[in-house]
Structure 1
Amino acid sequence: MSKIGSMRNLLASSLGVTCAAALALPMTLPATEAAAIPAKAVSGTPPARADGTGIPGSTQSLPLAPITDERDLGSAAAGLSPRSVRPFSLVGVIWDDPTVELNGRVQVRTRSVGTGTWSDWQDLETHNTDHAPDADTDERTSGRVRGATAPLWVGDSDGVEVLVRAVEPTRAGAAPLPAGLRLELVDPGAETAVEPPARHTPDDPPLTELLSPEVAEASAPNSELAPLGAALIPALDQAQSQKELLTLQAAVLTDEQKLKPYIGPRPAIVTRRGWGADETLREKEFSYTKSVKAAFVHHTATGNNYTCAQAPSVIRGIYRYHVKSMGWRDIGYNFLVDKCGNIYEGRAGGVAKPVMGAHTLGFNSDSMGIAAIGTFNSAGPTSTTVTAVSQLSAWKLGLFAGNPGGKTYLKSAGGNLYAKGKNVRLNVISGHRDGFSTDCPGALLYGKLGSIRTQAARFQGRP
C-alpha cells in the first residue's frame, strides 16, 4: 500500500476531534520507515553547567508538509512520513499564532526504543489555547509565544509519524490549518534528578555542595521552608503548619486568623531541583501576583502511560515543551501531582508565594494551577492523587486565608467565557473549565472536585 493511500484510509476512518487518549484503528501503516532525515535540535549543542555537568534534554523541531498529492481527502491535511529520529519521549505540535486554534485532529504513532515496534495511532489534544499567559502580560506579548497542542508522553521512542487533518472551516475565510505547523519531539534528558532523602526534617544541615547560580536562585525563595538546594520540602503536621503561617504571613493576618489559623498540614513537595529542572531554560526573573484566592485543577492531557518513577521525566518534558516549544517563561503550572500522590513544585518563585502561572487563560492572577499528571476524560484519577490535591490546596490556600469549600471573586483578564474586567464568582477550588470553555481537567477528575473541597476543608480543621 502506498504511503498516501495509507494516509487516505486513515483519514477516511477519522471520527472527528477527540481528546488526548490512545485510539486503536482497524488498519495500520507499514512498519518500514523512510530514510532518517537529520533533525536540528532547537537547543543546539548543550553547553556545560556551572557545576560541570551537561544540560540534559533536547528538542527536535520538524516542519509538517502539506499533503496535496490527492484531492479526495475531504479537507486540508499535513503530516510527516514515518521516519527514524533521535530518541525522544514526549511529542506535540506547535504553530505560529497562539490565538488560533487548530480546528481538526492530530494523530501520531511512535516506535519504541526498547522493542522496535510501532504504537497504535494516538490523538493529541488540540484545544490547548486555554492554557496560556494572560493577555497584555509581558509573557504573552513577548513575541515568542506559539499555539500548540497538549504534549503527549510516549516513552523512549526513536521513530515517529504524524498526520494533521482540518475539519471544515467554521467561518468564511478561516484558514483550514494554522500556519507554521511543526512537530516537536522532546527528550527530557537522563535521570539526573537529585534523590529526595528518605527522612528529611527542617533541622537537616544545609547542603555544602556547589550549586550553579541558576539552581541557587530557584531554590532561594524556598529557603524559609528547606535548606538551599534541597530536593524535598518536608511535610509538617498541622500545629507546625499553623506556626509557620504565623511566621510567614503575620503582617497580613487578622486578629481572628491569628487566634484560629485555618490551614492544612504542609505536604511534602519535591522541589524543582528534586525533579531535575534545567534552570537555564526559564527566564531569570520570577513573576508574582498579589494573592492566592483560588486553585484551578487541571490535567496535563499527556496520557496515563507513565510510572511514578518516570514522573520527573514527564515534568521535565512538559517544562521544556512549555518553554522551548510554546515560548513561555517557565512551566505553566504552579504544582503537579502524579498518580502516586507525589507533589512537585512547578513554576519557580517559591511554593509558599503567590507565583503567577500560565495555566488558566483569563484567571492567572490571584490563583494557582494544580495539574494532575494524566488524562482523565475516560480514566479516573487515583485516590492518592485526589487526596494529594486536597492536601496541597488546604495548605496553600490556608496561607492566604482561603476556605476550600467557599466562593471567591476573580477579575477576568479575558477569555471565551468571561469578558475582560468582569468580576466572576467562582468556587475557591475550581476546575479549569469553570474559567474557560474546555474539557480540562477531564470529566472524571472534574467529578472529584466536590470530594477535594470537602477533604481540603477537613484538612484545614474547618467545621
Structure 2
Amino acid sequence: AAPRPHIVPRARWVGDAAREQPPPRYDDAIVAVFVHHTDSPNDYACAETPDVIRHLYEGQRVGRDWDDIGYNFLVDRCGVIYEGRAGGTDRPVTGAHTQGFNHRTAGVAAIGTFTAGTPVPKPMLYAIASLAAWKLAPAGIDPRAEVRLVSSNGGSRYAAGTAATLPAVAGHNDGYMTSCPGAALHARLPDVREMAAEMQGRASDARRVHSRAAGEARSAAPPAGTEADRRRADERQS
C-alpha cells in the first residue's frame, strides 16, 4: 500500500475552457506509469501552473481535436500534483499519452522541458514517485519491476499485438519513438522507482540483496501485469 498524495482537482485549472466530451473509459487496473515532459518553458511561477495546464489542454483538445487532455496527471516544478484527464483520480482511467500503451497505464507529465543537462527539481521527482507508488499499489506492482504490456497500435515502438516487457515506471520513449521525457528526466527514473518502492514500504535494493544472501527473504518482484489481447482500439500519443 502507499498513501494517496494530495492532488489538485481538475476544476482548479479547466475553468471556462471545459468543453463537452464523451464519457471517460476505464481499464481493470493500472500496472505501469509512463513519465512525460510537456516540452514547455521551465521558468513559470508555480502560481501560474493552472494557466499552463489550461493552455496544454486547449492545445490538445482544440489544436489536435482530442476528446480531453491526454495525461492522467501533471506535476509542476514545486511538486504540486494536478488531476489531468477526467474520470476520477482514484480510478484506472484510460489516458491518451503513450501510443500503443494507453491501456492499464497512467500518464504523468512533468511540466517543463528536461533535455540533457537540465536540472529536474527534487520536489517534482518526489511527486512523480508518490503518484507511481499510489497508482501501482492496488495491483501489487513493485515500481522497480518490469511488466508485460501488449501494444495496441503499430505507431508505437512495438507492432500491434506484440508483447513488450517494460519498466513499471517507464519513460514515454520506452514505448514510443520520441525524446520525451527528455534525457535529464529519463536519467532520474531509477531514483523515482526507488523512492516509489520505499513509499510502498518495500525494502531498498541494498536490503533486498542482503536478505537474499542471508536466506531471510525471497525476491519481492511481483507477477508481471498483462494487457488483454482484445484491446485493439486506436490510441493517440501526446
Is 2:173 the counterpart of 1:443?
no
Segments of 4+ moved more than 6 angstroms: none
Aligned to 1:115: none
Aligned to 1:455: 195
Higher helix content, 1 or 2? 2
Which string of whole-angstrom CA distances, capped at 9 and with x for unpartnered residues, describes residues 94-144 of structure 1?
A: xxxxxxxxxxxxxxxxxxxxxxxxxxxxxxxxxxxxxxxxxxxxxxxxxxx
**Partner Cα separation in structure 2 for residue 439 and residue 276 of structure 1:** 28
Aligned to 1:380: 119
- Structure 1 pair 325–293 and aligned structure 2 pair: CA distance change class (3 A): same
Aligned to 2:42: 304
1:264 shift after superposition: 1.6
The residue identity in structure 1 corresponding to 2:165 is R
The residue identity in structure 2 corresponding to 1:350 is G
**Partner Cα separation in structure 2 for residue 282 and residue 313 of structure 1:** 20
Larger gyration radius, structure 1 or structure 2: 1
Higher strand content, 1 or 2? 1
The residue identity in structure 1 corresponding to 2:162 is K
**Partner Cα separation in structure 1 for residue 20 and residue 110 of structure 2:** 22
**Partner Cα separation in structure 2 for residue 353 and residue 304 of structure 1:** 30
Secondary structure, aligned partner of 2:82: strand
**Partner Cα separation in structure 2 for residue 386 and residue 356 of structure 1:** 23
The residue identity in structure 2 corresponding to 1:330 is D
Segment drifting more, 399-408 vs 430-439 = 399-408
1:276 shift after superposition: 3.6
Secondary structure, aligned partner of 2:139: coil
Alignment of 1:175-194 (within 5 A): none
Q: Say if 1:352 and 1:399, in contact at 8 Å, map to a contact too.
A: no
Is 2:58 the counterpart of 1:320?
yes
Aligned to 1:406: 145
Q: Equivalent of 1:292, from 4, 18, 30?
A: 30
Is 2:103 the counterpart of 1:365?
yes
**Partner Cα separation in structure 2 for residue 400 and residue 277 of structure 1:** 33
**Percent same amino acid at aligned positions?**
45
Q: Say if 1:282 and 1:323, in contact at 8 Å, map to a contact too.
A: no
The residue identity in structure 2 corresponding to 1:371 is A
Unmatched segments (≥5 aa) in structure 1? 1-262
Aligned to 2:235: none
1:282 shift after superposition: 4.3
The residue identity in structure 1 corresponding to 2:135 is K
Q: Say if 2:17 and 2:54, in contact at 8 Å, map to a contact too.
A: no
1:399 shift after superposition: 2.4
Aligned to 1:149: none
**Partner Cα separation in structure 2 for residue 278 and residue 364 of structure 1:** 27
- Structure 1 pair 311–452 and aligned structure 2 pair: CA distance change class (3 A): same
1:380 shift after superposition: 2.2
**Partner Cα separation in structure 2 for residue 451 and residue 422 of structure 1:** 29
Is 2:89 the counterpart of 1:342?
no
Aligned to 2:209: none
Alignment of 1:65-214 (within 5 A): none
Secondary structure, aligned partner of 1:458: helix
The residue identity in structure 2 corresponding to 1:281 is R
Q: Say if 1:433 and 1:441, in contact at 8 Å, map to a contact too.
A: yes
**Partner Cα separation in structure 1 for residue 29 and residue 16 of structure 2:** 27
The residue identity in structure 1 corresponding to 2:194 is T
1:327 shift after superposition: 0.6
**Partner Cα separation in structure 2 for residue 303 and residue 280 of structure 1:** 24
Aligned to 2:160: 420
Question: RMSD over aligned Cα, in angstroms?
Answer: 1.2
TM-score for the superposition, normalised by structure 2: 0.81
Q: Say if 1:290 and 1:365, in contact at 8 Å, map to a contact too.
A: no
Q: Equivalent of 2:131, from 389, 392, 397?
A: 392
1:284 shift after superposition: 3.8
1:318 shift after superposition: 0.6
1:305 shift after superposition: 2.3
Q: Say if 2:77 and 2:123, in contact at 8 Å, map to a contact too.
A: yes
1:274 shift after superposition: 2.1
Secondary structure, aligned partner of 1:426: strand
The residue identity in structure 2 corresponding to 1:342 is V
**Partner Cα separation in structure 1 for residue 99 and residue 162 of structure 2:** 14
TM-score for the superposition, normalised by structure 1: 0.42
**Partner Cα separation in structure 1 for residue 133 and residue 168 of structure 2:** 11
Q: Say if 1:337 and 1:343, in contact at 8 Å, map to a contact too.
A: yes
**Partner Cα separation in structure 2 for residue 282 and residue 432 of structure 1:** 28
